[in-house]
Amino acid sequence: MAAQPKPLPLEPRNYLKGGGLIGWLTTVDHKRVAVLYGVTALFLLGIGGLEALVMRLQLWEPNNHLISAHFYNEMFTMHGTTMIFLVLMPLELGFFTNFVMPLQIGARDVAFPRLNALSFWIFLVGAVLMHLSWIWGGFPNRGWFGYANLTESYYSPGLNIDFWDISLLILGVSTLLTAINFFVTMVMMRAKGMSYMRMTLFCWAMLVTVILVLLAFPALTVGLLFLLLDRFFGTHFYIAAYGATPILWQHLFWLFGHPEVYILALPSFGIISEIVPVFSRKPLFGYPMMVYSIILIGFLSYGVWGHHMFATGMGPVADSAFAITSMLIAIPTGIKIFSWIATVWGGSLRMKTAFYFALAMIVEFTIGGLSGIMHASAPVDLQQTDSYFVVAHFHYVLFGGVMFALLGAIYYWWPKVTGKMLSEKLGKWQFWLTIIGFNGTFFPMHWLGTWGMPRRVYTYGAGLGWTGLNQFETVCAFILGFSFLLMYINLVLSTARGEDAPADPWDGRTLEWAVSSPPPEYNFANPVEVEGRDAYWLMKYGRGGAREAQMFAEGKIPPVPQNMQAPPEKPIHVPTPSIFPLLIAGCLFMVAIGLLIGWWRIMEIGGGTMFICIVGMCLEYPKWGEKSHNLDEEAPHSLGIDLRKAGLWTFLGSECVFFASLIATYVVYKSRNFGGPGASILEIPLTSGSTFALLMSSLMMVLALHSIEQGRVKWMRFWLVCTMALGCVFLGVEAFEFLGFFQKGLAMQTDLFGQCFYTLVGTHGVHVTIGVIWLGSILASSFRKNFGKSKALSVEMVGLYWHFVDIVWVVIFTLVYLMQQVKGA
Amino acid sequence: MSEITQVIETGPFEEHPAHPGAGAYVIVAVALCILTALEVTVAYLPALRPVMIPVLIILAIAKFALIAMFFMHLHYDSRLLSTFFLGGLLAAFVLFIALLFLFVYLDRHRAIIM
């Protein structure tokens, strides 16, 4: 299965050429994966935009019945879900970060190229599934926030919410894989000399963004898991009649949802921080403060979710705390605005389309920010909640702040991506139409909201005074739609027959402009070494500014320095294409669709094939399980740590948040549990025995690692078998315990305790099962030739996972089993 | 010009940064067993009821730390890995406390007021 080296043409080949359709389907090149994301997200942007126009047509006049109320609900749900999960995030993370970040840090690819491709294909599965629900009865229709308990089976009996739930879970997996990948890439694979404080602002923004993804998405995953259990297994996580509370969903959702706002906004801050200095011909003003403010925004964004929930009655203490943190976050955001203005101030401005959009973003985002501060005040927010004022606010943030930055990024980086310049004339037309259309559509919503027009409303009565502004907004929305049509025309025409782009069309400051447009397959012919911030600027002009002044006076952009054009000095390692990411995603689609429509055979075939493909993907790595010897070259900041090990630790950090959400729910609901057998049913002596088995399995695991580090393969196999056996004992006792509880009348549906207990302990059991399977695959592969000391990394990786599962059990055993001895705990 | 190949090359295995020997692992495992036995004992001793929760939490933290530091090698490996893990752990702890505060404490607080 091991892939053999395939010689490529000796001349540098641009990444877009060669391979045909198969080349694109099996690609693991970060640039091609980025293009796949970009094309998909731009297509979905068109769909999301059309959904918005349908809504605007419905609101054209009072008592309008152009579409049904049900279809209107579907439209606003799909518009929100599509724009956030299928357009903005994939454009920011999947397209621009994927393409630009490795180039900006001087890397040849991301840390895990095949994982990157897998992320894309999984994302595509999620996007397709989200829209496929239409075939089985209709689109999801409970809003992008999916508030409980409207999403419960009683209120939403169709399959549409099932599709929504499972699609979001799948999209979450894709995003999490991307975040782990980018995190390890940025921490470890920066070029020599690129300290953190020499990294571009875009990369800084993305570093904080992926940390937010890692820490925020698990809460959403848990919320969606509870909804899945409610809908598929009859639990009652969000149903008040059973003692639960729908507010739990709001907490879990907004624990993800507000960091999500910054997951969307921070990349746009990074984009603006790239465009503004380039077109002002000045270094970014206050770089360190910009970095610190990004970090502070990321930190604070994790503690402001409650301002979405003032109307739920959290009480004055919680309201005050969330109001303070929400107001505080305006400070670092304000620093960024002032820093951009100071960068533009006194600069030699070049008024290109990208710069237009960047300047517009600063203005529009500031308007959105100002109305955002109003929401931080609980009494004011209570007046604005669920009104069109909120719609105006978040569109000024997400369109004015994020989409404007993305439009700027398209005009800025498109020449690098495709090697073709976009038409400035069409670009300027698009810009002005966007400005008119956007402000005309969304600014009047401030008034409509203040006058009392509720959001998500299907239609409104005549005589309320809302008609004129609604009609004005609808006209402007179509102008906005037309501006995007111009963009699509520009992208297609310019890419087909536009002017060829030079390597450095904007006199750029960062490393992506040091390579040809489009870049070669391997990015950089030789390892890059940087000497300061604005690395490429220093390469072109050096320090002191004399050459810069001379070139500027002559109106020239200096050519790419010779050392960046030199031929490769050593063999270049380009990741091998792989079909497995596509196959795994295809199998995932079969599993999901089988589960959704109850086609179990398809689910079984898909699940089985997916397992085989995952094993195949692991084994296809040419030197699977060995440490990379050229880490110093590939990852100068790795400190000798293998990238895969760093990736696993990052994943485990994210898993902590996942289990914390589950455990917190258990503790909260246990205190609300009335009736039923409750926690007194738990048998500590039995579980103490299984706990002992699991602890001892950790000892066996670490002895297996010790053995392989000594080169003793047979001993390693012995200890691995012992670890698996003890893992199976643990699972057996758990199954026995569950069976006993069923017989005593405690099922998942019995009470709050039952559903939380089975979910928490069962999820841990699933992790143990995965660990046993992983151990089994290592054991099986140890019978292959050449399995020896050099494969210790494989054993170490499974060991880390196994020990993590063990320490999670340490917490569960204490909280769930032992503490039930204390009455009322 | 050099040849370009489609492969990630790997080379000879590098020795691990000083992991402990089997003896140290066994000592840690014995400590884990003793701590677990202590936990179960504490849970069944009525005299310790008033301090049971803090004692159980301390014992669980000790077990958690022993496994993370010695079995998962955080004590020996680069601090960078500890940072990755502890960052997630800290966020998890904050989330746990925040949810507990928002539901349990505030519920009781409201009940008292009403």
Residues B72 and B85 in one domain: no
Contact yes or no for A567 and B1 at CB 8 A? yes
Is pLDDT above 90 for A2? no
**What CA–CA distance (Å, rounded) separates A481 from A399?**
13
Of B17, B88, B110, the CB nearest to A653: B88
Contact yes or no for A630 and B78 at CB 8 A? no
Is pLDDT above 80 for A272? yes
Minimal Cα–Cα distance from B89 to chain A, Å? 6
Instruction: Sort out which chain A residues have CB atoms less than 8 A from B54's CB and list them.
Output: none
**What CA–CA distance (Å, rounded) separates A374 from A379?**
9
Minimal Cα–Cα distance from B72 to chain A, Å? 6
What is the per-residue pLDDT for A628? 65
Residues B27 and B72 in one domain: yes
Residues B24 and B72 in one domain: yes
What is the per-residue pLDDT for B27? 96
What is the per-residue pLDDT for B17? 56
Is pLDDT above 70 for A266? yes
What is the per-residue pLDDT for A623? 63
Q: Check residues A677 and A363 and name the one with the higher pLDDT.
A: A363
What is the per-residue pLDDT for A675? 67
What is the per-residue pLDDT for B10? 36
Once rounded to an integer, what is the mean pLDDT over residues A10-23?
81
In chain B, the number of structural domains is: 2
What is the per-residue pLDDT for B110? 63
What is the per-residue pLDDT for A6? 47
Reported as a pLDDT band with limits 50, 70 and 90, residue A5 is very low
Reported as a pLDDT band with limits 50, 70 and 90, residue B114 is low
Q: Check residues B9 and A723 and name the one with the higher pLDDT.
A: A723
Residues B37 and B58 in one domain: yes
Whether residue B31 contacts residue B66, with contact meaning beta carbons closer than 8 Å, is answered with yes
Q: Check residues A376 and A680 and name the one with the higher pLDDT.
A: A376
What is the per-residue pLDDT for A736? 95
B42 within a domain of the structure (yes/no): yes
Is pLDDT above 90 for A218? yes
Which residue of chain B comes nearest to A670, CA vs CA?
Answer: B104
Which structural domain, as residue segments, surrounds residue B61? 20-77
Question: Could you give the domains of chain A?
Answer: 28-497 (1.20.210.10), 666-821 (1.20.120.80)
Contact yes or no for B100 and A629 at CB 8 A? no
B3 within a domain of the structure (yes/no): no
What is the per-residue pLDDT for A620? 78
Classify the phi-psi angles of A561: left when phi > 0, otherwise alpha if psi is within -120 to 50, otherwise beta. beta
Mutate to test the interface with B, among A565, A698, A816 (most CBs of B within 10 A): A698
H or E, element range at A573: strand A572-573
Is pLDDT above 50 for A654? yes
Q: Check residues A791 and A406 and name the one with the higher pLDDT.
A: A406
Reported as a pLDDT band with limits 50, 70 and 90, residue B45 is confident
Whether residue A43 contacts residue B41, with contact meaning beta carbons closer than 8 Å, is answered with no
Of A187, A628, A818, the CB nearest to B10: A628
B36 within a domain of the structure (yes/no): yes
What is the per-residue pLDDT for A625? 64
Instruction: Sort out which chain A residues have CB atoms less than 8 A from B67's CB and list them.
Output: 698, 803, 806-807, 810
Reported as a pLDDT band with limits 50, 70 and 90, residue B3 is very low
Residues B72 and B29 in one domain: yes
Once rounded to an integer, what is the mean pLDDT over residues A644-664?
96
What is the per-residue pLDDT for A751? 87
Reported as a pLDDT band with limits 50, 70 and 90, residue A825 is very low
Once rounded to an integer, what is the mean pLDDT over residues A370-378?
91
**What CA–CA distance (Å, rounded) separates B70 from A580?**
36
Is pLDDT above 70 for A396? yes
Once rounded to an integer, what is the mean pLDDT over residues A372-380?
91
Mutate to test the interface with B, among A682, A700, A807, A812 (most CBs of B within 10 A): A807
Q: Determine which of A557-571, A799-813, B81-95 has the lowest per-residue pLDDT on average.
A: A557-571
Of A646, A688, A789, the CB nearest to B84: A646
What is the per-residue pLDDT for A823? 58
B15 within a domain of the structure (yes/no): no
Is pLDDT above 50 for A337? yes
Average pLDDT score over chain A? 92
**What CA–CA distance (Å, rounded) separates A292 from A270?**
13
Query: Which of A374-388, A423-437, A535-549, A574-588 is predicted most confidently?
Result: A423-437
pLDDT digits (tens, 9 = 90+) for A189-198: 999 999 999 9
- Chain A touched by B111 (CB under 8 Å): no
Contact yes or no for A709 and B110 at CB 8 A? no
Whether residue B73 contacts residue A281, with contact meaning beta carbons closer than 8 Å, is answered with no
What is the per-residue pLDDT for A267? 97
Residues B70 and B82 in one domain: no
Residues B94 and B47 in one domain: no
Residues B58 and B83 in one domain: no
Instruction: Sort out which chain A residues have CB atoms less than 8 A from B89's CB and list them.
Output: 653, 656
From residue A720, alpha-carbon distances to A113, A328, A700, A703, A725 in Å are 30, 52, 7, 9, 8
Is pLDDT above 70 for A626? no
Average pLDDT score over chain B? 82
For residue A591, count other CB atoms closer than 10 A to its CB.
21
**What CA–CA distance (Å, rounded) separates A352 from A539?**
24
Residues B64 and B27 in one domain: yes
Q: Determine which of A130-134, A407-411, A562-566, B2-6 has the lowest per-residue pLDDT on average.
A: B2-6
B61 within a domain of the structure (yes/no): yes
| Residues paired with residue A7 on neighbouring β-strands, in sequence order | B5
B29 within a domain of the structure (yes/no): yes
Contact yes or no for A8 and B4 at CB 8 A? yes
B54 within a domain of the structure (yes/no): yes
Reported as a pLDDT band with limits 50, 70 and 90, residue A660 is very high
Reported as a pLDDT band with limits 50, 70 and 90, residue A4 is very low
Reported as a pLDDT band with limits 50, 70 and 90, residue A624 is low
Quickly list DSSP for B61-99.
HHHHHHIIIIIS-TTTS-HHHHHHHHHHHHHHHHHHHHH
Minimal Cα–Cα distance from B54 to chain A, Å? 10
For residue A157, count other CB atoms closer than 10 A to its CB.
11
Q: Determine which of A85-99, A621-635, B40-54, B97-111 has the lowest per-residue pLDDT on average.
A: A621-635
Contact yes or no for A657 and B95 at CB 8 A? yes
B4 within a domain of the structure (yes/no): no
What is the per-residue pLDDT for A436? 98
Of B39, B72, B81, the CB nearest to A814: B39
Q: Which of B96, B100, B19, B84 is nearest to A653 (CA)?
A: B84
Location of structure tokens 């050459």: A547
Once rounded to an integer, what is the mean pLDDT over residues A388-404?
97
Reported as a pLDDT band with limits 50, 70 and 90, residue A264 is very high
Of A660, A703, A792, the CB nearest to B95: A660
What is the per-residue pLDDT for A811? 96
Residues B68 and B85 in one domain: no
pLDDT digits (tens, 9 = 90+) for A570-583: 778 778 899 999 99
Instruction: Sort out which chain A residues have CB atoms less than 8 A from B5's CB and list them.
Output: 5-8, 571-574
What is the per-residue pLDDT for A397? 96
pLDDT digits (tens, 9 = 90+) for A550-560: 777 777 777 77
Contact yes or no for B77 and A641 at CB 8 A? yes
Which residue of chain A comes nearest to B8, CA vs CA?
Answer: A573
Which residue of chain B comes nearest to A214, CA vs CA?
Answer: B88
Residues B24 and B73 in one domain: yes
Residues B60 and B86 in one domain: no
Once rounded to an integer, what is the mean pLDDT over residues A667-678?
77
Q: Which of A205, A236, A216, A108 is nearest to A172 (CA)?
A: A216
- Chain A touched by B62 (CB under 8 Å): no
Residues constituting chain B: 114
Minimal Cα–Cα distance from B69 to chain A, Å? 11
